[in-house]
Amino acid sequence: MRIDIVTIFPEFFDVLDLSLLGKARQSGLIELGVHNLRDHTHDRHHSVDDTPYGGGAGMVMKPEPWGDALDAILGADPASAESVAAETSIADSAADDGPILIFPSPAGDQFTQAMARELSLERHLVFGCGRYEGIDERVVDHYSQRGRVRLVSLGDYVLNGGEVAVMAMIEAIGRLIPGVVGNPASLIEESHEDGLLEYPSYTKPANWRGLDVPPVLRSGDHGAISIWRHEQQIERTQRVRPDLLAPSATSERQG
Binding site for ligand JA8 (CB under 6 A): 104-106, 130-132, 134, 154, 157-159, 161-162, 165
Provide the minimum distance between the beta carbon of 161 and ligand JA8 in the complex, in angstroms, as a whole number: 5
Residues 6+ apart with CB under 8 A from 249: 243
**28's torsion region: left (phi>0), alpha (psi -120 to 50) or beta?**
left
DSSP secondary structure of 146-195: HSEEEEEESSSS--SBSHHHHHHHHHHHHTTSTTTSS-HHHHHHSTTTTS
Q: Cβ closer to ligand JA8: 22 or 161?
A: 161
Provide the minimum distance between the beta carbon of 157 and ligand JA8 in the complex, in angstroms, as a whole number: 6
Provide the minimum distance between the beta carbon of 129 and ligand JA8 in the complex, in angstroms, as a whole number: 7
Q: Output the furthest CA–CA distance in the chain (Å, rounded).
A: 77
Q: Cβ closer to ligand JA8: 98 or 134?
A: 134
Provide the minimum distance between the beta carbon of 138 and ligand JA8 in the complex, in angstroms, as a whole number: 17
Q: Is the dihedral of CA 70, 76, 81, 82 positive or negative?
A: positive
Q: How many H-runs (helices) and E-runs (strands) does the chain carry?
A: 10, 9
Provide the minimum distance between the beta carbon of 229 and ligand JA8 in the complex, in angstroms, as a whole number: 34
Provide the minimum distance between the beta carbon of 105 and ligand JA8 in the complex, in angstroms, as a whole number: 5
Q: Let me know: does 33 contact 24? Beta carbons within 8 Å.
A: no
Q: Cβ closer to ligand JA8: 152 or 180?
A: 152
Q: Cβ closer to ligand JA8: 132 or 228?
A: 132
Q: Cβ closer to ligand JA8: 7 or 237?
A: 7
- Rounded to whole angstroms, the Cα distance separating 169 from 156 reads 15
Three-state DSSP class for 21?
Answer: helix
Q: Cβ closer to ligand JA8: 63 or 195?
A: 63
